[in-house]
């Protein structure tokens, strides 16, 4: 007997029908995360604005899902070991400005937008993301 467990990780915006409350109030940044052996939602973003940069995705089915009118700036992420949906919009209403990403076998099928962040940050080159994130993500004691 086998037990199949599908793990999903991060959902921003709690309901597809909550746009009137969430629109304009959800802003989130995901940086330097190591997403491994996860089914989906790395992250999934509804109604808000996201900044997703320098993350490492390994062996995932569905990585970054921008939907329900959300927008995201997606920079210098690395997608390895999978032919997953790397960056997409399940309903076609999400948009992203994507640059510097290494999609590997993963797809990038989302519509584009122009977006910038109002804070300072520095990017790792995509070629350095895997080693940096694997060494530094999570609890370091």
| Residue 1 DSSP class | -
State the pLDDT at residue 117.
95
State the pLDDT at residue 16.
78
State the pLDDT at residue 115.
95
State the pLDDT at residue 7.
60
Tens of pLDDT, residue by residue over 100-126, are 999 999 999 999 999 999 999 999 999
Determine the 3-state secondary structure of 86 from DSSP. Answer: strand
State the pLDDT at residue 82.
66
State the pLDDT at residue 94.
96
CA atoms of 106 and 78, how far apart (whole Å): 10
Question: Counting Cβ atoms within 10 Å, is residue 141 exposed (0-12), middle (13-18) or buried (19+)?
Answer: exposed
Low-confidence ranges of the chain (pLDDT < 70): 1-8, 82-83, 139-141
State the pLDDT at residue 129.
97
Tens of pLDDT, residue by residue over 23-36, are 888 899 999 999 98
> DSSP states of 26-43 as a string?
-EEEEES-EEES--B-SS
State the pLDDT at residue 141.
55
State the pLDDT at residue 140.
66
| Buried/exposed 101-129: b ≥16 CB within 10 Å, e otherwise | bbbeebebebeeeeeeeeeeeeebebeeb
The length of the chain is 141
pTM above 0.85, yes or no: yes
Catalytic residues: 41
């Amino acid at each position: 007997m086998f037990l199949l467990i599908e793990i999903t990780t991060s959902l921003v915006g709690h309901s597809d029908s909550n746009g009137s409350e969430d629109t304009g109030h959800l802003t989130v940044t995901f940086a330097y995360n190591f997403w491994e052996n996860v089914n989906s939602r790395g992250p999934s973003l509804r109604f808000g604005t996201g900044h997703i940069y320098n993350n490492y995705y390994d062996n995932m089915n569905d990585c970054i899902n921008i939907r329900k009118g959300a927008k995201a700036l997606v920079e210098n992420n690395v997608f390895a070991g999978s032919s997953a949906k790397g960056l997409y919009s399940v309903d076609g209403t999400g948009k992203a400005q994507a640059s510097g990403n290494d999609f590997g076998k993963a797809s990038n099928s989302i519509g584009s937008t122009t977006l910038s962040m109002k804070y300072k940050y520095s990017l790792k080159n995509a070629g350095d993301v895997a080693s940096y994130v694997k060494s530094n993500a999570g609890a370091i004691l």
